[in-house]
Amino acid sequence: MAVFLSTYVNKVDRKGRVSIPAQFRQSLAKTSAPSTVYLWPSLNHQALEGADQDYLDVLSESLESPDLDADERDMIETFIFGKLIPVSSDAEGRIVLPKELAEFAGITEEAAFIGRRKTFQIWEPDALKAHEAALREQVVRKDISLSQIVAKASRGAAGRSGEGA
Amino acid sequence: MAVFLSTYVNKVDRKGRVSIPAQFRQSLAKTSAPSTVYLWPSLNHQALEGADQDYLDVLSESLESPDLDADERDMIETFIFGKLIPVSSDAEGRIVLPKELAEFAGITEEAAFIGRRKTFQIWEPDALKAHEAALREQVVRKDISLSQIVAKASRGAAGRSGEGA
DNA sequence: TGCCGTCCCATGCTATCCCAAGAATGCCCA
DNA sequence: TGGGCATTCTTGGGATAGCATGGGACGGCA
């Protein structure tokens, strides 16, 4: 599965095309469908989410889980798979941002790609800045630190040791 | 089996014809009966459900399972198989929406196809919007996020490890 | 014989492909 | 250590093919 890191801001031309950051493309090259990315509107932000085929396969599988209640499944089917748009890149590594998605995220002239490991997001650059500012405030308020999180997670993993990778 | 994604809104002409979205057609092309789709009224919504031949075969088979109680089987047979209408597409990839189904879903001028992976739904566009708005409210209220669901599902899968994949 | 459904043909629009060039980066050589 | 060269990336525009949509004609059923 591809890994997406860093933030890149690229221009959207009047046909609605954007270059996928070269780093993302290199990552996508290792996946089962290198020239296809899947886009959908974020459940929680005015932004787009993106992932590769392999991630979607995992997600699709997790929907088969009997632990998931019917309402949640219905929501995911409607809001993720119902909104999911497979987008294939051209020879230059560009994709066309579907109109309804661009509108949803308020993207017009520029698009900010932000890597989130297994997925990435696409934001309107100013909206991203605002979002980051708000998040940073929370970090300060809640006094979150990285070392703390790592410590907490490894404590939890020790309790569940032997669980899948 | 075909996979249906995304949402497409197409016009219904005065003969009752609608184009099946090209993406859906491409998906259907790989199935055992590419030019036939099966439609039936949704059990839970004022909308239509659709699927390909292969999906119906699987559904039919699962009705043979002894685990299914008689009431459930009876319901499925009455409301799904009893209402099922096979619809074949013309050379342009259009189908004629059966009158009683169009009426059931309130479809007159436009039809919204919404992919749900193995099946799809057909809605009257405004009704779909209302439905989505209601669902989105639930997403906010329950504070649902995608990564959460994936995590939950994989935890569940780990707990059931050894079960057939 | 009249009506309804199916098939065939025509058209505007949209999206996809192809070709091209400027800019930035990194590398090599002097 | 500095400058020049080459490669890669991003961005732009035109041509082409596919798709959604509309109307008319033919055949079958009532």
Give residue B8's pLDDT.
97
Q: Render pLDDT for B100-118 as a digit per residue (tens, 0 to 9).
A: 999 999 999 999 999 999 9
Domain of A44: which CATH number? 3.40.1550.20
Tell me the pLDDT band of A1, cut-offs 50, 70 and 90. confident
Structural domains counted in chain B: 1
- Residues of chain B contacting A101 with CB distance shorter than 8 Å: none
In the predicted model, what is the mean pLDDT of residues A122-126? Answer: 96
Give residue B161's pLDDT.
45
**CA-to-CA distance for A121 and A114, rounded, in angstroms?**
5
| The pair of three-digit structure tokens given for residue A162, joined into one six-digit string | 């032997």
* Residue A139 belongs to some domain of the structure: no
Which of the residues in chain B have pLDDT under 50?
A: 159, 161-165
Q: Domain range for residue A91? A: 7-125
* Residue A95 belongs to some domain of the structure: yes
* Residue B33 belongs to some domain of the structure: yes
Tell me the pLDDT band of A48, cut-offs 50, 70 and 90. very high
CA distance A98 to chain B (A): 11
Give residue B28's pLDDT.
96
Which chain A residue lies closest to B165 (C-alpha atoms)?
A61
Q: Determine the nucleotide nearest to A8 by Cα–C1' distance.
A: D10
Give residue B158's pLDDT.
57
Which tops the pLDDT comparison, B162 or A2? A2
* Residue B163 belongs to some domain of the structure: no
* Residue A133 belongs to some domain of the structure: no
Q: Out of A16-30, A90-104, B80-94, B134-148, which region has the weakest mean confidence (pLDDT)? A: B134-148
* Residue A164 belongs to some domain of the structure: no
* Residue B144 belongs to some domain of the structure: no
What Å value separates CA A85 and C1' C13?
21
* Residue A141 belongs to some domain of the structure: no
**CA-to-CA distance for A48 and A90, rounded, in angstroms?**
20
Say yes or no to pLDDT of A159 above 70: no
| The pair of three-digit structure tokens given for residue B48, joined into one six-digit string | 């239509």
Say yes or no to pLDDT of A165 above 50: no
What Å value separates CA B85 and C1' D30?
22
